[in-house]
Amino acid sequence: MRKKITVVGAGNVGATLVQRLAEMELGDVVVVDIPQTEGMPAGKALDILEAAPIYGYDARVIGATSYEATAGSDIVVITAGIPRKPGMSRDDLLNTNAGIVRSVTEQAVRFSPNCVLIIVSNPLDAMCLVALRTSGFPKHRVIGMAGVLDSARMRCFIAEALDVSAESVHAMVLGGHGDTMVPLPRFSTVNGIPITELLPKDKIEQINQRTRDGGAEIVKLLKTGSAYYAPSASTAEMVEAILKDKKKILPCAAYLEGEYGIDGVFVGVPVKLGSRGIEQVIQLNLSVEERMSLQKSASAVKELSAALK
- What's the rounded Cα separation, in Å, for the pair 228 and 248? 23
- Catalytic hit among 177, 212, 272, 302: 177
**Catalytic site residue 177?**
yes
Q: β-pairing, 189-190 with 169-170?
A: antiparallel
Catalytic residues: 177
